[in-house]
Amino acid sequence: MIRAALSTLALAIAAPAAAADALALRPAVDGPVLLTTATYSVLTLYLLPDRPPVYVRTVAPEGLDAGVAGVPEAEGAVPLMSDVLAYGGVGLGLIAAPLYGATHRGKGADGKGRAAWAHGVVFAQTVTTTITITDVMKTASRRPRPYTHAEGFEVTEADDQMSFPSGHSATAGAASFGLAHQIVLTSDLSPGAAAGLYGVATAWTASTAALRVAARKHYPTDVLMGSLLGASVGIVVPELHRASRMRLSAGRDGDRTMVALSGAW
């Protein structure tokens, strides 16, 4: 009787689960993480201008960075275009990610409403996590921007000391690679199509990085680190949200009743 009840209970628990490559949310983890990083990201936009500058020993950049130092920062179209690519990419992703989740017919497409919510939350978490990490690194490093090396320039605000890593490059990398990786994880794409998506993400990130250097806002090493950081978070966060296909099953082996838990990641 006990064995029969155990078998029945095990089979009842073995309900259908999301496909292995669907995106799954864990409210107990995702809620606090998104709330914390989103709050920090928003506050950063308002608190950064009010942060006092600190004394930083000026070290002349060398190697790859030497040619950028001391040149006045650019105005007009160049920095504006970097803003459009970085922050416009975030806005585009906040629309495209849940829309993709609600409409795609690939793997893990069951439950359109849940899929739309999952894709949107994962994308938002990718971006806010990147912004948070970037700002912490900026505040810790306090690297003066290239234009601060111009003769007679005086540092008057904290933003003059927030060069490393590049926040625009990191944000562009997180948004573009985050969206691309979500699509690759949850669709039956050919290797060529997947490579094409990552190629677009690479071009988007590299263009933003090049514009930030051209605007004299950052050194090449700033944008290189920012791009790698953003792209890495864009890959890792969706990977952490891949659903596992869990199955609890029961069977008999002679006089023994066996219960097995299996999953695919």
Please, are residues 143 and 160 in contact by the beta-carbon 8 Å criterion? Answer: no
Q: Are 257 and 5 in contact (CB under 8 A)?
A: no
Q: Are 247 and 262 in contact (CB under 8 A)?
A: yes
Q: Is 248 domain-assigned?
A: no
In a domain, 13, yes or no: no
Is residue 238 a part of any domain in this protein?
Answer: yes
User: What percent of the chain lies above the pLDDT cut of 70?
Assistant: 80
Q: With 90 as the cut, is the pLDDT of residue 104 above it?
A: no
* Tens digit of each residue's pLDDT (9 = 90 or more) over 235-248: 999 999 987 544 44
- 118 assigned to some structural domain: yes
Supply the pLDDT for residue 144: 92
Q: Calculate what percentage of the chain has a pLDDT beyond 90.
A: 57
Stretch 52-76: mean pLDDT: 82
Contact call for residues 127 and 174 (beta carbons, < 8 A): yes
Largest CA distance in the chain: 89
pLDDT tens per residue, range 176-223: 999 999 999 999 889 999 999 999 999 999 999 999 999 999 999 999
Per-residue confidence (pLDDT) for residue 22, from 0 to 100: 82
Q: Is residue 16 over pLDDT 50?
A: no
Q: How much is the pLDDT for 253?
A: 63
Bigger pLDDT: 30 vs 249? 30
Quote the CA–CA distance of 260 and 114 in Å, as a whole number. 28
Mean pLDDT lowest among 36-45, 152-161, 166-175, 255-264:
255-264
9 domain-assigned? no
> How many CA atoms are closer than 13 Å to the CA of 197, on its beta-carbon side?
19
Burial of 225 (0-12, 13-18, 19+ CB in 10 A): buried
In a domain? residue 8: no
Cis, bond preceding 79 (omega within 30 deg of 0): no
Tell me if 200 is assigned to some domain: yes
Give the domain range for residue 186: 18-243
Q: Residue 106, exposed/middle/buried by CB under 10 A (0-12, 13-18, 19+)?
A: middle
Residue 249 maps to a domain: no
- The CB density around residue 212, as the number of other CB atoms within 10 Å, is 29
Most confident of 27-36, 61-70, 153-162: 27-36
**Closest C-alpha among 125, 162, 169 to residue 145:** 162
Average model confidence (pLDDT) across the chain: 83
| Confidence grade of residue 17 (pLDDT, cut at 50, 70, 90) | very low
* Amino acid at site 146: P
Model's pTM, two decimal places?
A: 0.81
The total domain count for the chain is: 1
Examine the pLDDT at 11 and tell me if it is beyond 90.
no
Q: What is the predicted pLDDT for the residue at 57?
A: 72
Q: For the residues 20-48, what does the mean pLDDT come to?
A: 87
Average pLDDT over residues 124-144: 95
DSSP string, 209-237: HHHHHHTTSS-HHHHHHHHHHHHHHHHHH
